[in-house]
């Protein structure tokens, strides 16, 4: 994976209040997107890796940055949240608190 891919991913993460790397066929991604779409009012950016040419390279860059090679890969205000189970483990109150702090609620 190229340095440019890592930089691209870092820019996507930093330029959106909520960033999700996803795949259209992934049930865990669907659950995370459903949760976030019901809570995020401002700047939810979802990148469907299986629909873009450099999706595999972006996923590799995310793995290098976070240590997580699976999707969904979720960030709120630049903070790596993790996957769907990590998102759900936050609970509604803590998620809302993070979203308010990020300016995304």
Neighbours of 103 (CB within 10 A): 11
Whole-number average pLDDT of the chain: 96
Domain boundaries, the chain: 3-102
pTM: 0.95
Assess contact for 83 and 70: CB atoms under 8 A.
Answer: yes
Neighbours of 97 (CB within 10 A): 13
**Exposed e or buried b for every residue in 70-83, given b needs 16+ CB within 10 A?**
bbbbbbbbeebbbb
User: Is 1's pLDDT higher than 80?
Assistant: no
Tens-place pLDDT, residues 27-42: 999 999 999 999 999 9
* CATH number, domain 3-102, options 3.40.30.10, 1.10.10.10, 3.40.50.150, 3.40.1390.20: 3.40.30.10
Give residue 2's pLDDT band: very low, low, confident or very high (50, 70, 90). Answer: confident
Tens-place pLDDT, residues 55-76: 999 999 999 999 999 999 999 9
Give residue 105's pLDDT band: very low, low, confident or very high (50, 70, 90). Answer: confident
Question: What pLDDT, on the 0 to 100 scale, is given for residue 58?
Answer: 96
């Amino acid at each position: 994976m190229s340095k440019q891919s890592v930089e691209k991913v870092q820019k996507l993460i930093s330029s959106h209040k909520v960033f999700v790397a996803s795949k259209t066929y992934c049930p865990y991604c669907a659950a995370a997107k459903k949760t976030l779409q019901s809570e995020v009012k401002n700047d939810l950016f979802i990148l469907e890796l299986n629909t873009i040419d450099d999706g595999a390279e972006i996923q590799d860059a995310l793995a290098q940055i976070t240590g997580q090679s699976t999707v969904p890969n979720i960030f709120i205000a630049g903070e790596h949240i993790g996957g769907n189970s990590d998102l759900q483990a936050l609970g509604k109150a803590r998620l809302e608190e993070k979203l308010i702090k990020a300016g995304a609620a």
